[in-house]
A and B are shown apart, each in its own frame.
Chain A
Amino acid sequence: MTDKTLTPPPHTEPVVFTRDMLDWLPWLEPLAEAEMTEHHIRSLVDAARVKSPYFRLLARDPDVLEARTRTDKDIFYNPEAGLPRAERELAAAATSRLNGCIYCASVHARFAATYSKRVDDVQRLLDEGVEAKLDERWDAIVAASVALTALPMTFGKEHVERLRSVGLDDAAIADLIGAASFFNWANRLMLSLGVPATQPK
């Protein structure tokens, strides 16, 4: 039998970028918890993700999901050297803002605000978009994320020089490349396999 897409239950789609917690409703059938094998469960990496329809859907290809998740975790959570966590999250939020992933932007704007304590600047990125003026260092990080995300890609030596001039070393620049590039992966999955929904108050 041919598979069918799902019609999500009645919900309210967010119409602005927000730091609020959002839900996500799949357009394709996730695996049911009961039918998941050990291989599927292992691919989630974090066992708690079994409650997430997004991860149970991606678990249909468990090897790819596990590799995706372990790539993600090292790019964002590895505390050794490189770009401070707040600015890895800023790159993720800026990439998501440009691509238009309201769900991804909400998660990573919250992280960027938490780790940087610059709530107003993060909110201005969400409200005004990637042209918002934040400060020299953050503007350079956002501009580099945009140059890596836009097609054709425009990331060039001038972006590297600008990042160096605001204090990023080579390891930090490599982290920025990793974070912005990774969100070009994550945004496409989130945007294309389901829809965000506001949480009931």
Chain B
Amino acid sequence: MTDVIDSLVGIAPGSKLDAIRAQRSEARKHAQASYTSLFEPKELGGIGAEERHAIAAFVAGLHGEAKTDAFYAAKLPANLRAAVATEVAAARSKGPYGRFPKGPLSVEDAPGPSWQVSDAGRAALGPRLTAAFEHTHMLVFHPRDASAASLQSLLDAGWTTTDIVTVSQLVSFLSYQIRVVSGLTVLASTL
């Protein structure tokens, strides 16, 4: 299948950037394998394909990188896509913010809100995705505010421990993929 990063950046075979990525062929291959394992896994386990894509579209929307945003949004049915877009518009923020463990670093604290899904969003997304979106917002914008309580909210909403590992990987992988797409797009524009 097409390499998602190459496709989103627009890296043509034989181009300079193609040659540069070829020097890190394992990273290229396994970034793609990460994508496949998250979105087209051999077994979906406890997380449906639509849930995976909804969380991905939310992450991509929060980052505001146009190509990845369009890529993941396109995988959702229209009603869910609209609900995600509404939440993205309300949830976009600046990051990274958050608090440090109390001590000398407290002078660097940049406290900020724990974002919550709107009432209309709750109705459209249901309790599992609502909890996942609220956790995702923290992971994207203020990961140093993470706590066991945030994971407990996911467990309470019906996600298992194994599901949470996958959701955490999905959000974190996208935090990587989107930055690579953005960074390589800038680099390509200078070649």
Contact = CB atoms under 8 A, between A and B. Distances in A.
Interface of A: 2-7, 13-17, 27-29, 57-58, 60-61, 63-68, 70-71, 73-75, 78, 80-82, 98-102, 129, 148-153, 155-157, 159-161, 170-171, 173-175, 177-178, 180-182, 184-189, 191-193
Q: Is the interface of A mostly helix, strand, loop or mixed?
A: helix
In the A-B complex, the 7 residue pairs with the closest CB atoms: A15-B103, A100-B144, A177-B183, A74-B26, A181-B179, A74-B27, A185-B176
Contacts of B63: 151-153
Contacts, number: 209
A189 to B, nearest CB: 5
Given A15-B104, A151-B94, A177-B180, A64 B173 contact: yes
Contact of A174 (B21, B41, B164, B173): B21
Interface string B16-57: 110011011111011101101110011001000000000000
A186 B40 CA distance: 22
5 contacts: A13-B101, A64-B169, A78-B27, A181-B180, A182-B176
Contacts of A180: 179, 183
Interface string B132-153: 0000001111011011111110
Given A14-B101, A64-B166, A177-B180, A150 B96 contact: yes
Contacts of B173: 64, 68, 185
Interface of B: 16-17, 20-21, 23-27, 29-31, 33-34, 36-38, 41-42, 45, 62-65, 93-96, 98, 100-105, 108, 138-141, 143-144, 146-152, 155-156, 160-162, 164-166, 168-169, 171-173, 175-177, 179-180, 182-184, 186-187, 189-191
A29 to B, nearest CB: 6
Contacts of A181: 175-177, 179-180, 183
Nearest to A76: B27
Contacts of A3: 155, 160-161
Contacts of A71: 26-27, 30-31, 34
Given A64-B173, A151-B94, A193-B168, A160 B103 contact: no
Contact of B152 (A4, A29, A160): A4
Most buried by A among B26, B42, B94: B26
Contacts of B36: 67
